[in-house]
Amino acid sequence: MTDAENALKVVLLGMKNVGKTCIFNRYVNNEYPETRMTIGAYYANKECRIGKMNYSLAIWDTAGEERFDALTSFYCRGSRCAIICYDLTNWNSFANLERWVKKVKDVAPDCAIVFAGNKLDIIEEDPTKRAVELEEAQRFASSMDANIVEVSAKTGQNIPQIFEEAISKYLASSHSNPEKGRRISDANGDDDSSCC
């Protein structure tokens, strides 16, 4: 059972066609349906367990087109975690990450940020299609005080981990409740994380 103090708003951001809605659907429903352009935002609740604590996630999947910028900023307000997505086969989607970081930090300065490099399945099939090297992405993430995980919405690879990473980063931040941070694992050091 979760309570209000364990309710966390998570927002998915990034350019169009990077796979935000696919990540959303894979995580929330464990599905990979055909998707269309997001207009405004999609919303879902999902329970997640980090250590011995349960958290209720309010997840917002936002539109990536610039014409929806004002709406996207609105949906970012109050976010505790932002998962900013890019396409591992599209350099431009990576080059635009700083813009998305600024957008979320303008309205939610204490938000924990994790970058999700999507379409790992394509890279594993054909490494020549990789446009963004992991080492370069890691350096950039470090400069933005962000974490990074490469994922595949199609296969589900690392999808739960990206949400767990974002929540853990928020809980460990100096801006979160220190008591929550101490409760991520029990005294024996057992890690019982799962977002289900």
pLDDT band (50, 70, 90) for residue 70: low
Q: In the predicted model, what is the mean pLDDT of the chain?
A: 81
Q: Count other C-beta atoms under 10 Å from residue 92's C-beta.
A: 10
Chain segment 93-114, per-residue pLDDT in tens: 999 999 999 989 998 999 999 9
Sign of the torsion formed by the C-alpha atoms of 116, 119, 123 and 128: negative
* Percent of residues, the chain, with pLDDT higher than 90: 53
pLDDT in tens, 24-58: 999 998 887 666 554 456 678 888 888 888 888 99
- 136/159 Cα distance (integer angstroms): 21
Residues 160-172: pLDDT tens digits?
999 999 999 998 8
More confident call, 184 vs 35: 35
3-state secondary structure 122-140: HHHHCHHHCCCCHHHHHHH
Q: What is the DSSP string of 79-136?
A: -SEEEEEEETT-HHHHHTHHHHHHHHHHH-TT-EEEEEEE-HHHHHH-GGG--S-HHH
Taking 90 as the threshold, does the pLDDT of residue 148 lie above it?
yes
3-class state of residue 75 by DSSP: helix
Checking if the pLDDT of 13 tops 70, the result is yes
What pLDDT was estimated at residue 67?
44
Greater model confidence, 107 or 5: 107
What are the two backbone dihedrals, phi and then psi, of residue 122, each rounded to the nearest 5 degrees?
-65, -40
- Of 144, 2, 174, 157, residue with least CA distance to 82: 144
Give the H or E element holding residue 53: strand 53-62
Task: Indicate whether 115 pLDDT > 70.
Answer: yes
Q: Residue 27 in 3-state DSSP?
A: helix
Domains of the chain: 4-195 (3.40.50.300)
The pLDDT of residue 35 is: 61
In angstroms, the CA 167 to CA 144 distance is 17
Whether the CB-CB separation of 88 and 122 falls below 8 Å is answered with yes
Number of Cβ atoms within 10 Å of the Cβ of 64: 23
**pLDDT given for residue 48 in this prediction:** 84
Q: Which of 47, 41, 43 is nearest to 7 (CA)?
A: 47
Beta-sheet pairing, 7-13 with 194-195: unpaired
